[in-house]
Amino acid sequence: MTFGRSGAASVVLNVGGARYSLSRELLKDFPLRRVSRLHGCRSERDVLEVCDDYDRERNEYFFDRHSEAFGFILLYVRGHGKLRFAPRMCELSFYNEMIYWGLEGAHLEYCCQRRLDDRMSDTYTFYSADEPGVLGRDEARPGGAEAAPSRRWLERMRRTFEEPTSSLAAQILASVSVVFVIVSMVVLCASTLPDWRNAAADNRSLDDRSRYSAVPGREPSGIIEAICIGWFTAECIVRFIVSKNKCEFVKRPLNIIDLLAITPYYISVLMTVFTGENSQLQRAGVTLRVLRMMRIFWVIKLARHFIGLQTLGLTLKRCYREMVMLLVFICVAMAIFSALSQLLEHGLDLETSNKDFTSIPAACWWVIISMTTVGYGDMYPITVPGRILGGVCVVSGIVLLALPITFIYHSFVQCYHELKFRSARYSRSLSAEFLN
């Protein structure tokens, strides 16, 4: 049962002199984390960890905070408009109030996010949810204080592997992971060179001749690949162990990419072990080559450490409707212009017809390279009507591509500032750890 006067149907929040009444039913699931924690308080100590003072007889909780800022925040969480800065109030002070009540910078309107980002960059001031006074739900529960050290340790481990800018150890770990990704990509590219393949074939022949030796020869590229895979596997296992929600961890796109990058190596090793080096697998080497080429997914692992790639992925996730609309525009225009170009270049006069436009599918290639203004020059119209149609196709492609790309561009800028802001929040803890 909630600590306070028993039988009371509502509680009163006194924020800087302004009083707000809330029913106990709404208190448990209230959108503000600090207010909802009052429902789980069981003792006077728990209450004083959440608020500054309280009156048990009147069931009133006192918060020594900015009343006007809380009014703006309360209107936002109740669904009355969008969250913007309070007039005549410093952006940093308002953001400090947001953190105190359990909101983040992402709840602000985009224009206010830009103002806050610029202000924090100018003053080199960053806030984090780990600061004193911004406590989690677990510490407000009974027994949370005893289990807090273990939770903090797991949270620190999770941030070390998930947030490259959260600490100095995370920076070092991210740098090592990037080095392994680069080395694996270099080895993958080098293994496709003719000289490299000839040298590998000679080494395999030498291994066959020395099969009775104590230690058979091994390719250096295979050893490097095994070391890289070992690092990626260990990193993925540790991140899975320290994750909060195992099901959510498996569903994340970057973790799925990690699995796709690691699994082909073990599949190819098992297939080689069970079928032999010179068996049917080697004769039908297409499967093995496909599995080896799937290692190109390793380069996507860089998205975990670079804001630019994260911004690209987040933009594609948020703008999938615009991307679908762009594809629809291109497909519709391709169908129209390819049919017209095939008719003008090949269908009207069979004696002087253009052999490159013998069918509509063949004309589709010319339409797509014309709409995107690439123009390889491998096929082009030769009749006057066809050239006029080509000019219309190019202009139409520029217009159709520009319309949805404008929305995608603005979403990209917004995603970049959001990720940049989230990354900047951890720079304070990184600087403190470096100085210590």
In-domain check, residue 138: no
Query: Strands across the sheet with 60-63, in order?
Result: 18-23, 10-15, 60-63, 53-55
Q: Within a domain: residue 392? A: yes
- For residue 256, give the CATH number of its domain: 1.20.120.350
- Predicted confidence at residue 8, as pLDDT, reads 60
Do 122 and 251 share a domain, yes or no? no
Tokens of 16: 């800087």
Q: Which of 256, 274, 305 is the last residue of a domain?
A: 305
Q: Which domain holds residue 403?
A: 310-421
CATH classification of the domain holding 412? 1.10.287.70
In this predicted structure, the answer to whether residue 240 has a pLDDT above a threshold of 90 is no
pLDDT at 268: 76
Dihedrals phi, psi of 85, to nearest 5 degrees? -65, 145
Does residue 140 lie in a domain region? no
Q: Are residues 171 and 297 in the same domain?
A: yes
Q: Are residues 89 and 18 in the same domain?
A: yes
In sign, the C-alpha dihedral spanning 112, 117, 122, 127 is: positive
Residues 119 and 34 in one domain: yes
Residue 41: give its domain's CATH number.
3.30.710.10
- 281 and 315, same domain (yes or no): no
What pLDDT does residue 123 have?
Answer: 55
Q: Give yes or no: residues 329 and 276 share one domain.
A: no
Q: Do 104 and 192 belong together in one domain? A: no
- Give the pLDDT score at 337: 92
The answer on 345 and 267 residing in a single domain is no
Q: Read off the pLDDT of residues 403-434 as tens digits, 9 standing for 90 and up.
A: 888 888 888 888 887 777 766 655 544 444 44
In a domain, 146, yes or no: no
Same domain, 281 and 387: no
Which CA distances in Å does 281 have to 202, 211, 218?
20, 20, 19
**To which residue do tokens 């959440």 refer?**
50
Are 292 and 328 members of one domain? no
pLDDT: is 156 or 216 the higher one?
Answer: 156
**Residue 134: strand, helix, or coil:** coil
Split into its structural domains, the chain has a count of 3
- What's the CA angle centered on 107, arms 101 and 108, to 5 degrees? 105
Share of the chain above pLDDT 90, in %: 6
Q: Please give the pLDDT value at position 139.
A: 42
Q: Is residue 104 domain-resident?
A: yes
Whether 56 and 100 share a structural domain: yes
Q: What is the pLDDT of residues 360-410, one digit of tens each?
A: 888 999 999 999 888 888 888 888 888 999 999 999 999 988 888 888 888
Residue-wise pLDDT tens digits, 315-342 = 888 888 888 888 999 999 999 999 999 8
In a domain, 157, yes or no: no
From 129, 155, 171, the end of a domain falls on: 129
- Does some domain include residue 41? yes
3-state secondary structure of 104: coil
pTM over 0.85: no
Mean pLDDT of the chain: 76
d(CA 370, CA 392): 10
- 154 domain residue, yes or no: no
Distance of CA 213 to the CA centre of its chain: 50
| Choice among 63-67, 243-247, 281-285, 298-302 with the minimum mean pLDDT | 281-285
If asked whether residues 118 and 173 sit together in one domain, one would say no
Among residues 104, 129, 154, which one ends one of the domains?
129
